[in-house]
Structure 1
Amino acid sequence: MIQRIQTLYLFFSLVVSAGLIFVFHLWNNTEGVKVYATDNYLYLGFFMASALLSLISILSFKNRKSQFIMGRINIILNFILLGIFVYQSLNLSGEINVSEKGIGILLPIFSIVCLALANKAIKKDEDLVKSVDRLR
């Protein structure tokens, strides 16, 4: 069942959480230096935890209930990360020199969308299996 659509969504979430953090910067600081997620261990930890949950969820394709629960936990983790980014960006905007926000702040949103679509597909598969079990 690894060829299901939820695996593709979870893989996209994995790529966003583990790969794109090295490509896109989060913001520019007051000196004009680009700040990446790898510069702060808290951000890196949240992104890597999200990527690890996506990978574990991909590999646990036989247990759809735990896959669904891991997806929900991953969504909550990404919302926490998004909240930290919003808080940080609101603190950055109060400076005399206006900082530039990067597209890296939006990475948790892309991950949340992919995880929500994956959970929808997992629920659809679970409902299909339950309906087939009722017919037996």
Structure 2
Amino acid sequence: MIQRIQTIYICIAVVLGILSIIFPIAYLLNTGMGLGHTLFNFWLKDNANGIVGFTVIPLFILQVTTIPVGLYSIFKYNNRPFQARLCLLNILLLVLWYTFLGYFVWAMKPNNEQFQPLLAVSFPLIEIILYSIARKAIWKDEKLVRSANRIR
């Protein structure tokens, strides 16, 4: 299981998913005063008075869903087509995560807030790349196994 390179890619993607939940994603700064909001996957914190709002819960749900799906796909190493479909599911969930992030940033524009992304906003993009590479390696293994079966 761990000898396969796609398992390492999926493990790194799961770790990045966990880090994406922990670290702040972006600052939404008021252009006039400098105070604004800090955007996490689970909440939106007002920097002026410390009030926490849970309007960004879909980001959290999508990111948290990718973690067990990624872990489950690691342990489905003997069913490669299903493992590749799980990687594709994670890719789609992460693309949906970016769609929701774009919506929440667009929804904050009427408040005259400027979006300042942080490092953690790139973690889902790196996850998408890792799941894509893992999916390609899974299909490569599947082709190798099928060709070995033909030789027998």
Q: 1:55 to 1:85 in 2, by over 3 A?
A: same
Answer yes or no: is 1:130 the counterpart of 2:146. Answer: yes
Answer yes or no: is 1:9 the counterpart of 2:9. Answer: yes
Q: Which has the higher contact order (CA 8 A, sep 6+)?
A: 1
Note if contact 1:89-1:101 (Cα within 8 Å) is conserved in structure 2.
no
Matching residue of 1:83? 99
> What is the percent sequence identity of the aligned residues?
26
Distance in 2 of aligned mates of 1:133 and 1:29: 59
Note if contact 2:28-2:113 (Cα within 8 Å) is conserved in structure 1.
no
Offset of residue 122 of structure 1: 0.3
Residues 37-83 of structure 1 show CA distances to partners (whole Å, capped at 9, x for unaligned) of: 12132211111101111000011111111101101111111111111
Of Structure 1 and Structure 2, the greater helix share is in 1
SS of structure 1 residue aligned to 2:131:
helix
Answer yes or no: is 1:64 the counterpart of 2:47. Answer: no
Give the number of the structure whose alpha-carbon radius of gyration is greater: 2
TM-score, with structure 1 as normaliser: 0.88
TM-score, with structure 2 as normaliser: 0.80
Offset of residue 104 of structure 1: 2.9
Note if contact 1:37-1:43 (Cα within 8 Å) is conserved in structure 2.
yes
Q: CA RMSD in A?
A: 1.8
Which one of 34, 41, 62 corresponds to residue 37 of structure 1? Answer: 41
Q: 1:41 to 1:91 in 2, by over 3 A?
A: closer
Of Structure 1 and Structure 2, the greater strand share is in 2
Note if contact 1:27-1:99 (Cα within 8 Å) is conserved in structure 2.
yes
